[in-house]
Structure 1
Amino acid sequence: MTPSSRHRHDYSLRTVWTGASRGALGAGSDYSRDLEVRVAGKIPLPASTSPAYGGDDSKHNPEDLLLAALSTCHLLSYLALAARAGLPVTAYEDNAACVVDMKDGHVRITEAALRPTVTLAAGGDVEKATKLHAQAHQICFIANSVNFPVSIEPRIVTA
């Protein structure tokens, strides 16, 4: 295995417009923005667009999914580092947020903030737990793939 191929992993999915069941599109017609993200062997993920664009607020939208990808990648990177460091993490929650705005003539995500709260067992090293967030951010391939700033604002508590 070559060094570059060892890091390569391929992923695929199907995105299906489920709103088609309401009828074909017509010029200027109101239409459903409902869809499903389907990954083989996994539960389908119902999605839509943001209500700001006529979508269903009860379903995930692309903005939710991108923010979830950032948050979960950081969480999993952090836990891997914490396990290697012997850090006694007992809980992890993230209150992530992002901003969609006009920039350079395009609507885009302009910034994101991850606000993880990590709970350590009594006697856990708070300083080490805080520093691991910077390392986790460096190895999170989702954060390394986006073109907007992602800030990390950790909070460490002990049980």
Structure 2
Amino acid sequence: MSKNHLYKTRVTWTGNKGSGTMDYRSYDRDYMISIDGKIDIPGSSDSIFLGDKSKYNPEDLLLASVSSCHMLWYLHLCSKNEVVVIEYKDEAVGMMEEVEDGSGKFKEITLFPKVIIADKAHLSLAQSLHKEANKMCFIANSLNFPIEHKPEIKAENA
């Protein structure tokens, strides 16, 4: 039996400099992401699209969503399989293609998790659980492009 989970968010444009979208350069691309009971996240478009490079952009957030969803599933699967994770870091990379009309799409994302586990006897299992985490990840399952994994796993007692 499947279950549905509803999520709600508010995105509010904060970039009106007084004349709205009168022309392409008359407004900022800034916005605020708000979810009841959570800290607001200031966002903007990527700086190559006239956004504020100090703020998160939609592309950043998509990449972070894939990486964090994978990590959370991986940690869950490790816990279930008695693989003790001591440390987990990922430096994910995404490739987006922009076409002539200005539209575009992500072509791929590669995750580069660096994982430290407690026991070297679990290195092989810890490696294999990345594939399982990808199968389980809600975000990866919602996308129509490849998510690759190039994990580096070390044992604390190696």
TM-score by length of 1: 0.91
Aligned counterpart, 1:119: 116
Indicate the RMSD between aligned Cα atoms, in angstroms: 1.6
Matched, 1:59 2:55: yes
In the alignment, structure 2 segments of 5+ residues that lack a partner are none
C-alpha contact (below 8 Å) 2:67/2:92 kept by paired residues: yes
Note if contact 2:120-2:154 (Cα within 8 Å) is conserved in structure 1: no
The corresponding residue for 1:11 is: 7
Letter in 2 for 1:39: I
What is the total number of aligned residue pairs between the two structures?
154
**Structure 1 gap segments, 5+ residues each:** none
CA distances 1:41-69 after superposition (whole Å, capped 9, x unpaired) = 00000000001100000000000000011
CA distance in 2, matches of 1:124, 1:18: 53
In the alignment, the residues of structure 2 paired with residue 67 and residue 89 of structure 1 have an alpha-carbon distance, to the nearest angstrom, of 23
2:142 is equivalent to residue 145 of structure 1: yes
Partner of 2:105: 108
1:40 to 4, 29, 36: 36
Looking at structure 2, the residues matched to 130 and 33 of structure 1 have their Cα atoms a distance apart, in angstroms, of 41
Deviation at 1:100, TM superposition (A): 1.1
Q: How does 1:89-108 map to 2 (within 5 A)?
A: 89-102=85-98, 106-108=103-105
- Between 1:116-125 and 1:59-68, the stretch displaced more is 116-125
Q: Following the alignment from structure 2 to structure 1, what is the Cα–Cα distance between the partners of residues 55 and 125?
A: 38
TM superposition shift of 1:27: 3.4
What's 1:80 paired with?
Answer: 76
Distance 2:94 2:119 in 1: 33
Give TM-score scaled by structure 2 length: 0.92
Cα distance in 1 for partners of 2:107, 2:57 equals 17
CA shift for structure 1 position 12: 0.4
Moved more, 62-71 or 106-115: 106-115
- Could you give the per-residue CA deviations for residues 49-103 of structure 1, whole angstroms, max 9, x where no partner exists? 0011000000000000000110000000001100000101100000101011146
Query: Distance between the aligned counterparts of 2:148 and 2:61, measured in 1?
Result: 18
When structure 1 is superposed on structure 2, of 97-106 and 28-37 the one drifting more is 97-106
Identity %: 38
